[in-house]
């Protein structure tokens, strides 16, 4: 080749003895990248995978956990969860996805499209929506992209229906919004006829396939849904057979409500229920209620007067129980208090001393004096044993236990001093606590109006007071309710 002289030809000291032609060096990326990947650490490879857009797709993420087929992976990769406190719980998310896969399988096998050219009814409806909503034809440039987007919207709507189905099964009353994106009457009619009605029927009939929540999941659910325990409590009451079995179920219920700020209410309601069935059981549960109440420094609730009548027949019994409560507050010895309650109703032996001289003197009284004395003694005896007066419980519907505040720590401020809450703000916070941190907006507005205040400005003032510490608003609107996050409320409390 003219004009080209190999470098070694100019150097007499370099002689090519190989007899091979010149071979160019291959700088191709494939072999180089394979070599680099072969020497990469597992952590480095994992980080590389995380940077891939496919890593965060639902199908790829749950391939092994759900043992997905290739078709299922493709379908799940089109899903996108509207993140919330419920579906962020891994156990709940898995149950939602399983219910979704069962639903899609049912649609594919049992809902045959009218137009046989479509593989599934979802494919058929996607085509209908593209035509009616966007007026695109298959030959148009936007058709394929729009068709895929519509199909994703259908899948994600079914996913929301599945989430509400799982929420209902786990006793979560709040549901997510499931309004369909398209409002065209023709589209809604066809969607309801071909898919929605079939999905709703399937989910209702197959809700039993959802697995019960495990203990860890129940604890999280109960922390975020402070009234969730009530449904289980009703079942426990309905299955009552004996006091020991009842107490055992109540303790199991409180174990999975350990992070629920309303856990003391479980013991209190259980104590009320057991009053008519077993006195000792009722008082033991009340001791447990008082124990939890003291831990969270909430106001002690008293048993109603009706329940009092079924628990105590004499003034001596109420005084003995008051002593048990006061001793427990002083020493916080739960085992000792429970043991004392177990002995409360046992008959007490009294030492009787006979005064023979007094007997002889009485015998000497004439019949009239004897009769009057007998009447007086009878009156005194009846006054002493006619139940508990306690000033007739101060004419209220509650029994008032005379509990001494021997533990001075109970008198400290319930809330941290740094917030400097006003009296009405404290009253609002206590109102939320009593209603398990969720109040109907209408009820809250009525309460604020009774204080001659405005709802909006009152909420804003309280939110502003707490914002610097919480870095978030305290009272939020959620559908028809005002709510407070229980974890935020805990940050307001004085734990000293």
Query: Is 100 within 8 Å of 159 (Cβ atoms)?
Result: yes
- What is the reported pTM? 0.63
Q: Which residues does 373 contact at the CB level (< 8 Å), separation at least 6? A: 362, 365
At 362 the pLDDT is 57
The predicted pLDDT at position 408 comes to 45
pLDDT score, position 204: 96
What's the mean pLDDT when you consider all of the chain? 80
Instruction: Give mean pLDDT, residues 23-37.
Output: 40
In this prediction, residue 360 carries a pLDDT of 63
Question: Could you give the CA distance from residue 494 to residue 496 in angstroms, rounded to a whole number?
Answer: 6
Q: Which of the pair, 222 or 308, is modelled with greater confidence?
A: 222
Average the pLDDT over each of 146-160, 178-192, 372-386, 403-417 and give the range with the smallest value.
Answer: 372-386
Mean of the pLDDT values across residues 377-397?
47
pLDDT of residue 37: 44
* Distance of alpha carbon 46 from alpha carbon 213, whole angstroms: 31
Which of 79-88, 301-310, 363-372, 482-491 shows the lowest mean pLDDT across its residues?
363-372
Q: Let me know: does 120 contact 108? Beta carbons within 8 Å.
A: yes
Residue partners of 356: CB distance under 8 A and separation at least 6: none
Query: Is a pLDDT exceeding 50 seen at residue 167?
Result: yes
In tens, the pLDDT along 419-429 reads: 888 888 888 99
> What average pLDDT does this structure show over 376-384?
52
Query: Which pLDDT score, from 0 to 100, does residue 359 have?
Result: 59
C-alpha neighbours within 13 Å on the C-beta side of residue 331: 9
b/e burial code for range 160-196 (CB count within 10 A of at least 16 → b): bbbbbbbbebbbbebeeeeeeebeeeebeebbeebbb
Assign 163 a pLDDT band (cuts: 50, 70, 90).
Answer: very high
Q: Determine how β-strand 481-484 pairs with β-strand 438-440.
A: antiparallel
**Is pLDDT above 70 for 436?**
yes
pLDDT surpasses 50 at 277: yes
Mean pLDDT to the nearest integer, 218-234? 93
pLDDT given for residue 389 in this prediction:
43
The closest of 147, 154, 132 to 199, measured between CA atoms, is 154
pLDDT of residue 11: 46
Q: How far apart are CA 261 and CA 293, in angstroms?
A: 10
pLDDT of amino acid 350: 59
Q: Which of 18-32, 110-124, 190-204, 360-374 has the lowest mean pLDDT?
A: 18-32
Specify burial of residue 75 (Cβ count, 10 A radius: 0-12, 13-18, 19+). Answer: buried
Question: Are the beta carbons of 111 and 198 closer than 8 angstroms?
Answer: yes
Mean pLDDT for 166-189 is 93
Does residue 344 carry a pLDDT above 70?
Answer: yes
pLDDT value of residue 460: 84
Q: What is residue 157's predicted lDDT score, i.e. its pLDDT?
A: 96
In this predicted structure, the answer to whether residue 413 has a pLDDT above a threshold of 50 is yes
% of residues, the chain, pLDDT over 70: 75
For residues 462 and 370, which has the higher predicted lDDT (pLDDT)? 462
> Cα 337 to chain center, whole Å?
31
pLDDT for position 309: 79
Q: Does 391 score more than 60 pLDDT? A: no
pLDDT the model gives residue 180: 93
Of 137 and 147, more confident = 147
pLDDT for 49 equals 57
- When mean pLDDT is compared over 40-49, 54-63, 404-413, the highest value belongs to 54-63
Q: Which whole number is the average pLDDT over 44-66?
A: 72
Q: How far is residue 247's CA from residue 240's CA, in Å, rounded to a whole number?
A: 10
* More confident site: 306 or 429: 429
Q: In what order do the strands lie in the sheet with 438-440?
A: 438-440, 481-484, 475-478
Q: How far apart are CA 67 and CA 73, in angstroms?
A: 10
**Per mean pLDDT, which range of 76-90, 235-249, 444-458 is the poorest?**
444-458
Q: What is the structure's pLDDT at 396?
A: 44
Whether the pLDDT of residue 87 is over 70: the answer is: yes
- Per the model's pLDDT, the better-predicted residue between 311 and 401 turns out to be 311
Predicted confidence (pLDDT) at residue 399 exceeds the cutoff of 80: no
Per-residue confidence band for 374, with pLDDT thresholds at 50, 70 and 90: low
pLDDT at 62 over 70: yes
């Amino acid at each position: 080749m003219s004009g080209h002289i190999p470098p070694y030809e100019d150097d007499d000291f370099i002689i090519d003895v190989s007899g091979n032609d010149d071979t160019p060096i291959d700088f191709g990326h494939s072999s180089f990248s394979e070599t680099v990947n072969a020497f990469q650490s597992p952590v480095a490879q994992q980080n590389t995978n995380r940077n891939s857009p496919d890593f965060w797709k639902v199908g790829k993420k749950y391939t092994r956990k759900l043992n997905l087929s290739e078709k299922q992976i493709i379908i799940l990769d089109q899903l996108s969860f509207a993140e919330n406190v419920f579906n962020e719980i891994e156990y709940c998310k898995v149950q939602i996805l399983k219910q979704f896969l069962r639903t899609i399988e049912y649609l594919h096998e049992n809902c045959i499209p009218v137009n046989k050219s479509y593989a599934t009814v979802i494919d058929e409806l996607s085509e209908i929506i593209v035509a009616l909503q966007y007026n695109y034809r298959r030959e148009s440039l936007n058709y394929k992209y729009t068709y895929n987007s519509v199909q994703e919207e259908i899948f994600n709507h079914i996913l929301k229906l599945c989430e509400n189905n799982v929420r209902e099964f786990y006793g979560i009353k709040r549901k997510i919004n499931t309004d369909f994106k398209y409002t065209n009457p023709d589209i809604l009619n066809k969607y309801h006829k071909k898919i929605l009605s079939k999905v709703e029927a399937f989910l209702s009939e197959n809700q039993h396939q959802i697995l019960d929540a495990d203990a860890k999941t129940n604890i999280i659910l109960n922390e975020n849904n402070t009234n969730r325990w009530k449904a289980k409590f009703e079942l426990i009451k309905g299955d009552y057979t004996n006091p020991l079995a009842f107490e055992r179920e109540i303790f199991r219920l409180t174990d999975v409500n350990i992070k629920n700020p309303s856990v003391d209410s479980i013991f209190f309601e259980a104590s009320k229920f057991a009053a008519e069935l077993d006195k000792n059981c009722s008082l033991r549960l009340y001791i447990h209620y008082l124990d939890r109440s003291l831990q969270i420094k909430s106001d002690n609730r008293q048993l109603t007067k009706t329940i009092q009548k079924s628990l105590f027949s004499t003034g001596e019994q109420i005084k003995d129980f008051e002593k048990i409560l006061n001793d427990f507050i002083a020493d916080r010895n739960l085992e000792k208090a429970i043991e004392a309650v177990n002995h409360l109703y046992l008959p007490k032996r009294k030492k009787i001393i006979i005064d023979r001289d007094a007997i002889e003197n009485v015998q000497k009284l004439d019949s009239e004096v004897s009769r009057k004395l007998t009447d007086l003694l009878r009156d005194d005896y009846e006054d002493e044993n006619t139940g508990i007066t306690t000033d007739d419980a101060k004419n209220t519907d509650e029994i008032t236990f005379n509990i001494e505040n021997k533990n001075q720590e109970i008198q400290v401020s319930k809330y941290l001093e740094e917030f400097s809450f006003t009296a009405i703000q404290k009253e609002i916070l206590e109102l939320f606590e009593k209603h398990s941190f969720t109040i109907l907006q209408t009820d809250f507005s009525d309460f604020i109006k009774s204080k001659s205040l405005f709802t909006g400005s009152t909420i804003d003032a309280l939110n502003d007071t707490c914002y610097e510490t919480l870095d978030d608003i305290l009272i939020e609107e959620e559908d028809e309710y005002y709510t407070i996050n229980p974890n935020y409320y805990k940050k307001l409390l004085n734990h000293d």
